[in-house]
């Protein structure tokens, strides 16, 4: 791999490992067992972005026909979104290991309804609301509840759709939305919410006239959704910046699309090598989607470089503590935070971590403390005093990223760490244990 950026490292990145995806037929992983393994080495491939593919799947309700999505990870959230589309009448097939084909069988009407049983499984289902109203003029979607991060309001989603002419009624736990034809509007988001930007964008593409979304979220997954919509025939300008302009069109058509790589999965491997030490290559990862994280990891003492094939990373020994603060993109993603806390727990010095997006996103810290980490939480700040080594313990994964972070912490914890409720990790990671094991980590799933 040719290294061009922040290159300090030496030569090649060592062995390549064959990897066999865990068959989904094996069912969810209940427990992960991790032991310290010494430095990691080798190459691992990153999959498609969960937070992109879920929205692309939702966008398929915008036009009839046959869609093909490539680079789709085999994860629970994708299966849940597939079930939701099926409940509406679509056919969703895994046409190849990382490919989904989505279409509606002839003579089937699509039912614009997202039932509670499915929305409850996956909160992100709320992103079907905008495209359903835009396409069908009405939709019935279960109200999502809170989750382990605390309350997860959708007021900005609803206000954006209201600005385009949607009327809402709330009955028996369902949002009932109605609009004759959506009309383009100026939408000023109070906060650059990812989901609200996506819902507004997917509604605006079929609205009459021009929509401008100001203070839009700028995540790479939004730009991927816009690229998908534009390929379908929409006119979306400025996605990836704070102002998105959409000229509504009468009709869209289905397309084929390759999902962007998952930056949080890539970050997980970076955190793993940061904690365990070693030198790895992450193929498929796009460093330009992870600039702030890479800057922070270099501040901690890691060496990182990249080229068009992926990211090379090396951790020379125990890292230095730094302060981190989560912000909407291009700031440091809240999804990286549990991984950074795990890294700080074994770094040299004291780091202050500030959470600015999800007030309740600190629950995994109690679990890290059970592993001997020295962390004090004050409001939305955590003060992490690094220790040379943690102590393996049984711990519980409360959500996807927390589960991944606990497993990563286990790489520098004496004895055995057992992560229970590890099925949470499968929601967002394909073959999590297998990929880490391929890098030489002592991780097994059962
Ligand atoms: N918010 C509101 N009102 C709204 C919408 C959001 O107050 O109508 C608040 C939220 O409560 C939160 C903040 O705005 O405090 C940001 O929420 P946002 O809407 O941006 O998040 P999201 O769309 O619900 C997505 C990802 C999350 C990721 C966040 C932030 C998906 C499926 N989920 O959630 O990813 O943490 O953006 O980047 O795209 C994960 O992958 O594990 C995950 C949780």
198 CB less than 6 Å from ligand 1?
A: no
161 CB less than 6 Å from ligand 1?
A: no
Classify strands 40-45 and 278-283 as parallel, antiparallel or unpaired: parallel
Q: Are residues 328 and 413 in the same domain?
A: yes
Strands (E), 9-150: 31-35, 40-45, 67-70, 91-96, 99-103, 113-114, 138-142
Query: pLDDT tens-digit profile of 43-68?
Result: 999 999 999 999 999 999 999 999 99
**Counted domains in the chain:** 2
The range of the structural domain enclosing residue 95 comes to 50-258
Q: Is the residue at 14 inside a domain?
A: yes
Q: Is the residue at 71 inside a domain?
A: yes
Share of the chain above pLDDT 90, in %: 85
Instruction: Output the pLDDT for position 359.
Output: 74
Q: Are residues 240 and 95 in the same domain?
A: yes
293: Cβ–Cβ under 8 A, 6 or more apart, which residues?
263, 267, 270, 332, 333, 336
Under 8 Å between Cβ of 294 and 266: no
Catalogue the active-site residues. 147
Residues 237 and 336: their CA atoms lie apart, in Å, by 28
Q: Is the residue at 1 inside a domain?
A: no
Residue nearest atom 35 of ligand 1, based on CA coordinates: 335
Q: Are residues 250 and 265 in the same domain?
A: no
Residue nearest atom 18 of ligand 1, based on CA coordinates: 193
Q: Is the residue at 310 inside a domain?
A: yes
Query: pLDDT tens-digit profile of 177-218?
Result: 999 899 999 999 999 999 999 999 999 999 999 999 999 999
Q: Is the residue at 181 inside a domain?
A: yes
Q: What is the CATH number of the domain that holds 387?
A: 3.65.10.10
Q: Are residues 74 and 87 in the same domain?
A: yes
75 CB less than 6 Å from ligand 1?
A: no
Instruction: Select from 229, 258, 287 the last residue of a domain.
Output: 258
Is the pLDDT reported for residue 24 higher than 90? no
Locate the ligand 1 atom nearest the alpha carbon of residue 198 and give its number. 23
Query: pLDDT tens-digit profile of 217-261?
Result: 999 999 999 999 999 999 999 999 999 999 999 999 999 999 999
Structure tokens at 51: 């937070």
Instruction: Select from 216, 234, 258 the last residue of a domain.
Output: 258
Q: Is the residue at 434 inside a domain?
A: yes
Torsion, Cα of 349, 355, 359, 361 (10° steps):
-60
Mean pLDDT of 134-141: 97
Instruction: Output the pLDDT for position 146.
Output: 59
CA triplet 216, 238, 335: central angle to 5 degrees? 45
Question: Of 370, 418, 397, whose CA–CA distance to 76 is shortest?
Answer: 397
Confidence of residue 145 (pLDDT cuts 50, 70, 90): low
pTM of this structure: 0.93
In testing the pocket of ligand 1, which one of 49, 122, 191 has its CB within 8 Å of the most ligand atoms? Answer: 191
Is the pLDDT reported for residue 34 higher than 90? yes
Q: Are residues 195 and 299 in the same domain?
A: no
Residue 263: φ, ψ to 5°:
-70, -25
In testing the pocket of ligand 1, which one of 357, 426, 428, 429 has its CB within 8 Å of the most ligand atoms? Answer: 357
Residues 254 and 285: their CA atoms lie apart, in Å, by 27
Is the pLDDT reported for residue 415 higher than 80? yes
Q: Among 152-156, 223-227, 389-393, which is the least confidently predicted range?
A: 152-156
357 CB less than 6 Å from ligand 1?
A: yes
Locate the ligand 1 atom nearest the alpha carbon of residue 221 and give its number. 39
Q: Are residues 38 and 57 in the same domain?
A: no
Instruction: Output the pLDDT for position 193.
Output: 97
345 CB less than 6 Å from ligand 1?
A: no
Is the pLDDT reported for residue 20 higher than 50? no
Confidence of residue 22 (pLDDT cuts 50, 70, 90): very low
> Residue with structure tokens 């791999």?
1
Q: How far is CA 130 from CA 35, 136, 243, in A?
A: 45, 10, 19
Q: Are residues 17 and 133 in the same domain?
A: no
Find the 336 Cα to ligand 1 centroid distance in Å.
13
Locate the ligand 1 atom nearest the alpha carbon of residue 155 and give its number. 8
Mean pLDDT of 346-373: 92
Q: Are residues 157 and 178 in the same domain?
A: yes
Q: Which residue has the higher pLDDT, 317 or 396?
A: 396
422: Cβ–Cβ under 8 A, 6 or more apart, which residues?
28, 29, 30, 31, 32, 397, 403, 407, 445
445 CB less than 6 Å from ligand 1?
A: no
Q: Are residues 129 and 156 in the same domain?
A: yes
Q: Is the residue at 252 inside a domain?
A: yes
Locate the ligand 1 atom nearest the alpha carbon of residue 154 and give its number. 8
Q: Are residues 36 and 109 in the same domain?
A: no
Instruction: Output the pLDDT for position 363.
Output: 82
42 has which bridge partners?
A: 280
Residues 139 and 26: their CA atoms lie apart, in Å, by 36
Q: Are residues 246 and 298 in the same domain?
A: no
Ramachandran category for residue 384: left, alpha or beta (phi over 0 → left; psi -120 to 50 → alpha)? beta
Mean pLDDT of 306-312: 96
Q: Is the residue at 214 inside a domain?
A: yes
Mean pLDDT of 386-398: 97
Instruction: Output the pLDDT for position 105.
Output: 85
Residues 329 and 347: their CA atoms lie apart, in Å, by 25
In testing the pocket of ligand 1, which one of 195, 262, 401 has its CB within 8 Å of the most ligand atoms? Answer: 195
201 has which bridge partners?
A: none
Sign of the CA dihedral running 126, 132, 137, 139: negative
3-state secondary structure 211-243: EEEECCCCCHHHHHHHHHHHHHCCEEECECECE
Is the pLDDT reported for residue 351 higher than 60? yes
Q: Are residues 237 and 207 in the same domain?
A: yes
Instruction: Output the pLDDT for position 301.
Output: 98
Instruction: Select from 223, 258, 293 the last residue of a domain.
Output: 258
Query: pLDDT tens-digit profile of 252-305?
Result: 999 999 999 999 999 999 999 999 999 999 999 999 999 999 999 999 999 999
Structure tokens at 174: 């369902």
Query: pLDDT tens-digit profile of 107-116?
Result: 788 899 999 9
Mean pLDDT of 3-11: 31
Locate the ligand 1 atom nearest the alpha carbon of residue 328 and give its number. 38
Mean pLDDT of 138-143: 96
Under 8 Å between Cβ of 316 and 301: yes
Find the 10 Cα to ligand 1 centroid distance in Å.
39
């Amino acid at each position: 791999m040719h290294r061009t950026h922040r290159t300090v490292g030496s030569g090649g990145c060592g062995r390549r490992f064959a990897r066999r995806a865990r068959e989904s037929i094996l069912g969810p992983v209940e427990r992960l067992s991790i032991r310290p393994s010494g430095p990691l080495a080798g190459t691992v491939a990153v999959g498609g972005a969960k937070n992109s593919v879920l929205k692309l799947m939702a966008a398929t309700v915008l036009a009839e026909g046959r869609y093909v999505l490539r680079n789709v990870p085999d994860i629970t959230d994708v299966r849940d979104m597939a079930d939701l589309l099926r409940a509406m009448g679509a056919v969703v097939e895994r046409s190849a290991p990382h490919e989904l084909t989505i279409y509606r069988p002839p003579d089937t009407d699509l039912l614009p309804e997202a039932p509670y049983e499915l929305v409850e499984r996956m909160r992100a289902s709320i992103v079907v609301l905008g495209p359903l109203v835009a396409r069908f003029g009405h939709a019935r979607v279960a109200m999502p509840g809170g989750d382990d991060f605390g309350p997860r309001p959708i007021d900005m989603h609803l206000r954006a759709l209201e600005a385009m002419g949607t009327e809402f009624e709330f009955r028996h736990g369902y949002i009932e939305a109605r609009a004759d034809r959506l009309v383009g509007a100026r939408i000023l988001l109070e906060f650059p919410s990812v989901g609200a930007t996506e819902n507004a964008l997917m509604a605006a593409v079929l609205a009459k006239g021009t929509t401008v979304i100001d203070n839009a979220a700028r995540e790479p997954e939004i730009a991927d959704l816009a690229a998908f919509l534009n390929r379908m025939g929409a006119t979306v300008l400025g996605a990836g910046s704070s102002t998105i302009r959409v000229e509504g069109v009468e009709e869209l058509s289905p397309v084929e699309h390759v999902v962007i790589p998952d930056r949080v999965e890539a970050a997980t491997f970076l955190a793993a090598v940061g904690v365990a030490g070693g030198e790895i290559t992450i193929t498929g990862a796009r460093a330009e989607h992870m600039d702030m994280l890479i800057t922070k990891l270099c501040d901690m003492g890691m060496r990182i470089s990249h080229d068009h094939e992926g990211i090379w990373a090396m951790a020379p020994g125990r890292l230095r503590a730094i302060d981190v603060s989560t912000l909407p993109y291009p700031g440091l993603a809240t999804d990286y935070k549990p991984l950074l806390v795990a890294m700080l727990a074994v770094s040299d010095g004291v780091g202050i971590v500030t959470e600015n997006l999800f007030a309740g996103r600190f629950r995994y810290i109690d679990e890290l403390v059970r592993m001997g980490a020295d962390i004090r939480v004050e409001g939305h700040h955590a003060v992490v005093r690094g220790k040379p080594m943690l102590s393996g313990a049984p711990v519980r994964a409360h959500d996807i990223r927390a589960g991944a972070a606990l497993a990563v912490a286990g790489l520098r914890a004496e004895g055995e760490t057992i992560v229970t409720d590890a099925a949470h990790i499968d929601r967002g990671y394909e073959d999590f244990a297998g990929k880490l094991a391929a890098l030489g980590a002592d991780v097994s799933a059962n």
